[in-house]
């Protein structure tokens, strides 16, 4: 495991870290690691625009797959299938 030495941490910030660590029954090091992990996860999450682009891409891929389906197959009517299933 790598060691990271943070220098010149303001006393007030360190005191807050100590309070948080004490409240959660952990060490200051563990709290710093947890805070860094949470911050990195938040940064790595896709933005709303990226998520929308992904949805648009999925919809386009779905449309292309539907277009590749054979056109000469007669697909059953879903309403008829549902009625048949309910009548059993």
For 38-76, write each residue's pLDDT tens digit: 999 888 887 878 877 888 888 999 999 988 888 888 888
Of 24, 37, 27, 33, which is closest to residue 4 (Cα–Cα)? 33
Mean pLDDT, to the nearest integer, of 11-36? 93
24, 31 in Cβ contact below 8 A? Answer: yes
Where do the domains of the chain lie? 13-64
pTM for this entry: 0.52
The per-residue pLDDT for 37 is 93
**What is the DSSP track for 25-64?**
TS-HHHHHHHHHHHHHHHHHSPPHHHHHHHHHHHHHHHHH
């Amino acid at each position: 495991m790598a060691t990271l030495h943070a220098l010149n941490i303001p006393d007030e910030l360190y005191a807050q870290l100590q309070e948080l660590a004490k409240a959660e029954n952990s060490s200051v090091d563990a709290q710093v690691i947890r805070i860094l992990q949470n911050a990195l996860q938040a940064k790595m999450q896709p933005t709303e625009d990226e998520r929308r682009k992904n949805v648009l891409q999925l919809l386009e891929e779905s449309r292309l797959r539907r277009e590749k389906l054979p056109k000469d197959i007669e697909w059953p009517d879903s309403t008829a299938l549902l009625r048949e299933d309910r009548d059993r």
